[in-house]
Amino acid sequence: MAAPIAPQSFHGFQPEAFAWFEGLEADNSRAWFTAHRDVYEKAVRGELEAMLEELADELGGRVRMFRQNRDVRFSADKSPYKTTTYGLIIDRPESLAGLYAQLSGAGLFAGTGYHVLARDQLARFRDAIADDASGPALEAAVGAARAAGLELYGEALRTAPRGFPRDHPRAELLRHRSLVAGKRLERGRDGAITRDAALDHARATWAACAAMNAWLDEHVRDSEEPERRR
Q: Give the integer Cα–Cα distance in Å for 88 and 70.
A: 18
Q: Per residue in 131-188, pLDDT tens?
A: 999 999 999 999 999 999 999 999 999 999 999 999 999 999 999 999 999 999 999 9
Q: Give the integer Cα–Cα distance in Å for 55 and 73.
A: 35
Residue 228: its pLDDT value, please? 44
DSSP state of 158: S
Nearest partner of 88 among 122, 104, 65, judged by Cα: 65
Q: Give the integer Cα–Cα distance in Å for 115 and 6.
A: 32
Instruction: Say whether pTM exceeds 0.95.
Output: no
Tell me the domains of the chain and their CATH numbers: 12-71+80-220 (3.30.1460.10)
Give the distance from CA 104 to its chain's centroid.
Answer: 13
DSSP state of 90: E
Q: Give the integer Cα–Cα distance in Å for 31 and 68.
A: 15
Burial of 215 (0-12, 13-18, 19+ CB in 10 A): buried
Helix (H, G, I), strand (E, B) or coil at 146: helix
Nearest partner of 152 among 160, 141, 162, 163, judged by Cα: 141
Count of CB atoms situated within 10 Å of the CB of 65: 14
Rg (CA), the chain: 19
Whether 181 and 209 have beta carbons less than 8 Å apart is answered as yes
pLDDT tens-place values along the chain, 230 residues long? 544 556 789 999 999 999 999 999 999 999 999 999 999 999 999 999 999 999 999 999 999 999 999 987 888 888 999 999 999 999 999 999 999 999 999 999 999 999 999 999 999 999 999 999 999 999 999 999 999 999 999 999 999 999 999 999 999 999 999 999 999 999 999 999 999 999 999 999 999 999 999 999 999 999 998 864 44
Q: What's the CA angle centered on 139, arms 135 and 142, to 5 degrees?
A: 135
Cβ-based neighbours of 105, under 8 Å, separated by 6 or more: 18, 21, 22, 25, 83
> What percent of the chain shows pLDDT beyond 90?
90
